[in-house]
Structure formats: structure tokens, C-alpha cells
């Protein structure tokens, strides 16, 4: 419970309020824990009905249903509702009505009837709208477009380029509308090193010139891992270089926040405008991306402005590595700090660059000979032709013929079922 964020607790409480309202409508107002419902079948029925209840209705802040939804709740949100209510049951030592009785808690023991219900809803849900990947060409144009703009736009541009090389989430490098568990980076979380590994001070006026490597420490993040570090070296392309981008961010912060102690505790998205401290927001990042992409973006980048957002930065990092072909899935997972294969959802296999040399490799396969079958063949040195295998003769009465069910001819266990006839012939 202590590890939960405020938003997670509110989400669980919200679904629990809906569950309490649901059980009250079913005449169980004083027993939301279902202590008076011992039968597993009845508990499962309540669980399935609650899923339908959530999918169909809108709810007020108290959890009461007040109107039908114009668009039904999607399966991912329903799974979240099931998970939240089930966790509340288990924290009180009660069995979940959505899971197999006596199943392993948290071990994927959701009841098959609930699972099939959710799968059916998923097949009817509209396709998810995922933001498309940011391209290196767009990042380059963003840098060029903001060179002569305000400090705020320049800072935003540098943050976007720096975040790209570490596959960052928006909540890690800029201010978001709803803060979550992830902590935003501070100046002290960014370290520069020379070629021999020695640290370059943030106050060094030749910081960008001397630094060859940049290391970012993620103190707390969505996947629960703390103090996780990732490093990048110079790319050799000045407009698209992690050292250049983060060096520009830090040097601007040194100019705006001269005191080292104050600066180290300041988030990297901070800057000053006319003496007033400001922070780059996720909305400003999205606005910059779409504004630059709006200049013939479909032709130049293969994406339209409405298809990109802050998540495009993270997906762009995964796509850039995937289309090269030389990077393994494991390396992509390490860079983006993914704990599963979730990063595959960021990769668009339909892009032209993804095809790479697939067609060439597929065309080189001349045969799919089964070596095991060839080895087991007996050698026949006779000049005569081999006789073809004899045709397989049909087996009479191999399969029973089913007749219409006759209730009067039903027999119990151990007796022959008159619905099945093993006799052949047209009379059957």
C-alpha cells in the first residue's frame, strides 16, 4: 500500500465505489465483500455482471450509475476495473469473484468465463489510436526551426532531442498535467564524461566541447526500478547528438540558475523568461512537434501533425533502432527500460524502412527439404521403378452415425446411447 501513488489509490477507490453501488443495486448493500454469497457460481455471476455494468453505464463521483454510455467502455479499462476490485478483495483476505477459487493470487488465475468475456469485448472495440514514431528528419528540422526563437522554444527543442536518445516518457523530462509515480529529471541526474571517463563539471564553459559521453540517472520511474542509469556517446551528427542536446540544456540552466546547489535540485525542464522561472510542459512539447510537422509533414516525414504527440518521442527511439536491423530486441528493451515486450507496440511494421532485406533473404531459400525424412528413406539401387503405394482402403463402420435426439430412448451411464447407431446401410 505504501508504494502506491496518489493516482493509483484514487483509481482503485473509484472502481471500488462502483462495485459497492453495483452490489447495493443487487440487494447486497451491507455485504460488498460477498460474505453471504458462498456459492462460487453466484459470485462468478456477480463478477460477470459487474463487467457488463461498467461497460454499459456512466458513473458519478460516488460510483452510482446514472446514464448509458454513448460509447461502451473498452476492454483495457474493464480489465483495469477487474484488477482494482480484485486487489481490494485480496487485501481484505477475501477471494476475488473474478478469479478461479483458491487460485494463485496475482498469478494470472482470472476465471476463464471472465477472460472470455473480456476477449469478446476486445474483438468489438475500436482500433486503438497510437501516436506514430518521431523521425530523425523531424527532430533535425525542430532544431533548425528553433535556433533563432525564444529561450523557451530552444529549451523545449533541446529537451526533445535529448529525450529521444534515451527513449524517455514525457513525465521524465517535462511537466505533465497529472504527475505520476515517475520523478522528473533534475540537473544533478545528468553527468558528462570525457573520453577517459573523467567527469566534466556543469560549470565548465567548454562542457559541450570536452564531453564525449552523457549519463542520465532515472531516480524513480513507472516500472518501479530506482536509480537506473543509461549512457550515450557522441553520435557524430551535431544536430542529432545526445551530448550536444543535453549539454545545451545544462548550459542554459547554468546561465539561468547560477547557484550550483539550487540548480542541482531544479528539474531539467526549468528555465527563466524575463527573470521568472518557467517549466516546459507536455502541451508545449506537443505543440512544437505538430507545428514543425505541419509543414508538409505527410510528404517529408510520412506522418501528419495529428498523429504525433509526446509518446512519439519514445516510440521514435524504438523505431530508429528496429529499422536498422542490427539491434536486438534486448538492446531496445534496455535503452527504453522496458520490462516486457511492450515496446513492440511502439514499432510500426508497415513502414517502408522496416522491409530492409527481408525480400532478398526470403528469395534465397530454394527448398525446405526435411532432412530427417530423407535420412530415414531406405536405399534402393534397383533400376526398376518403385511401385506406387497401394491406396488406402476405406474402413467400414469406422465412425458412428448420429441420429436426432430422442428423449424417450436416453440411457444412463454405462448403457448404450440409442442416439448413436453403428450399423451401416440406407435404413439408418
- 296 and 153 inside one domain: yes
Q: Counting every residue, how long is the chain?
A: 428
| Number of helical H runs and strand E runs in the chain | 17, 10
Q: Please report which helix (H) or strand (E) contains residue 333, including its range.
A: helix 329-336
Verify that 45 and 142 share a domain, yes or no: no
Domain CATH for 330: 1.10.443.10
| Cα–Cα distance for residue pair 17/31, rounded to 1 Å | 13
Q: What is the pLDDT of residues 45-57, one digit of tens each?
A: 999 999 999 999 9
State the distance between the two ends of the chain, measured CA to CA, in whole angstroms.
68
CA distance 324 to 407: 67
pLDDT category, 402, cuts 50, 70, 90? very low
**Does 163 lie in the same domain as 111?**
no
Is a pLDDT exceeding 50 seen at residue 309? yes
Amino acid 362: pLDDT: 56
In this prediction, residue 334 carries a pLDDT of: 82
Return the SS3 of 186. strand
Does residue 32 contact residue 23 with C-beta atoms inside 8 Å? yes
Per the structure, the count of domains in the chain is 2
221 and 108 housed in the same domain: no
Same domain, 140 and 117: no
Q: Which residue did the predictor score with more confidence, 170 or 346? A: 170
Report angle CA 343, 318, 345 to the nearest 5 degrees.
30
**Cα 349 from Cα 227, distance rounded (Å):** 33
> Could you report the per-residue pLDDT of 89-106, keeping only the tens digit for each?
989 988 899 998 765 544
pLDDT at site 17: 95
Is there a domain that residue 194 lies in?
yes
Are 166 and 290 in contact by the 8 Å Cβ rule? The answer is: no
Residue percentage of the chain with pLDDT more than 70: 75
> Does residue 367 belong to any structural domain of this protein?
no
pLDDT tens-digit readout, 345-362: 666 665 555 555 556 555
- Percentages of the chain per state (helix, strand, coil), in multiples of 5: 45, 10, 45
Q: Residue 17 and residue 342: Cα distance in Å, rounded?
A: 31
Structural domain including 66 reads 6-124
**Better-scored residue on pLDDT, 426 or 175:** 175
Amino acid at each position: 500500500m505504501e508504494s502506491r501513488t496518489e493516482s493509483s489509490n484514487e483509481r482503485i477507490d473509484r472502481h471500488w465505489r462502483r462495485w459497492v453501488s453495483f452490489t447495493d443495486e443487487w440487494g447486497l448493500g451491507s455485504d460488498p465483500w460477498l460474505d453471504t454469497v458462498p456459492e462460487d457460481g453466484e459470485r462468478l455471476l456477480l463478477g460477470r455482471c459487474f463487467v457488463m455494468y461498467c461497460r454499459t453505464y456512466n458513473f458519478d463521483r460516488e460510483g452510482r450509475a446514472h446514464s448509458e454510455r454513448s460509447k461502451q467502455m473498452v476492454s483495457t479499462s474493464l480489465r483495469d476495473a477487474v484488477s482494482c476490485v480484485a486487489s481490494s478483495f485480496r487485501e481484505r483476505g477475501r477471494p476475488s469473484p473474478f478469479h478461479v477459487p483458491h487460485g494463485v493470487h496475482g498469478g494470472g488465475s482470472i476465471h476463464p468465463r471472465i477472460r472470455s468475456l473480456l476477449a469478446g469485448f476486445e474483438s468489438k472495440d475500436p482500433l486503438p489510436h497510437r501516436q506514430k514514431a518521431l523521425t530523425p528528419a523531424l527532430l533535425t528540422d525542430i532544431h533548425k526551426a528553433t535556433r533563432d526563437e525564444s529561450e523557451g522554444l530552444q529549451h523545449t527543442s533541446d529537451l526533445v532531442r535529448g529525450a529521444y536518445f534515451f527513449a524517455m516518457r514525457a513525465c521524465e523530462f517535462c511537466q505533465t498535467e497529472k504527475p505520476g509515480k515517475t520523478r522528473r529529471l533534475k540537473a544533478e541526474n545528468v553527468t558528462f564524461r570525457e573520453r577517459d571517463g573523467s567527469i566534466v563539471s556543469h560549470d565548465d564553459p567548454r562542457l559541450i566541447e570536452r564531453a564525449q559521453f552523457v549519463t542520465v540517472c532515472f531516480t524513480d520511474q513507472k516500472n518501479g526500478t530506482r536509480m537506473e542509469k543509461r549512457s550515450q556517446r557522441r553520435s557524430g551528427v551535431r544536430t542529432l547528438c545526445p551530448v550536444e542536446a543535453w549539454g545545451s540544456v545544462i548550459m542554459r540552466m547554468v546561465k539561468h540558475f547560477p547557484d550550483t546547489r539550487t540548480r542541482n535540485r531544479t528539474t531539467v525542464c526549468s528555465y527563466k523568461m524575463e527573470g521568472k522561472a518557467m517549466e516546459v510542459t507536455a502541451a508545449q512539447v506537443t505543440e512544437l512537434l505538430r507545428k514543425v510537422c505541419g509543414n508538409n509533414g505527410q510528404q517529408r516525414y510520412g506522418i501528419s501533425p495529428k498523429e504525433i504527440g509526446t509518446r512519439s518521442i519514445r516510440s521514435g527511439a524504438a523505431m530508429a533502432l528496429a529499422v536498422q536491423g542490427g539491434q536486438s530486441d534486448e538492446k531496445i528493451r534496455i535503452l527504453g527500460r522496458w520490462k516486457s515486450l511492450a515496446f513492440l507496440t511502439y514499432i510500426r511494421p508497415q513502414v517502408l524502412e522496416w522491409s530492409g532485406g527481408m525480400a532478398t533473404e526470403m528469395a534465397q531459400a530454394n527448398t525446405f527439404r526435411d532432412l530427417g525424412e530423407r535420412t530415414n528413406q531406405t536405399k534402393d539401387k534397383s533400376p526398376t521403378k518403385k511401385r506406387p503405394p497401394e491406396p488406402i482402403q476405406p474402413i467400414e463402420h469406422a465412425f458412428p452415425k448420429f441420429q436426432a435426439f430422442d428423449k424417450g430412448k436416453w440411457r444412463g451411464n454405462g448403457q448404450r446411447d440409442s442416439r448413436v447407431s453403428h450399423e451401416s446401410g440406407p435404413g439408418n
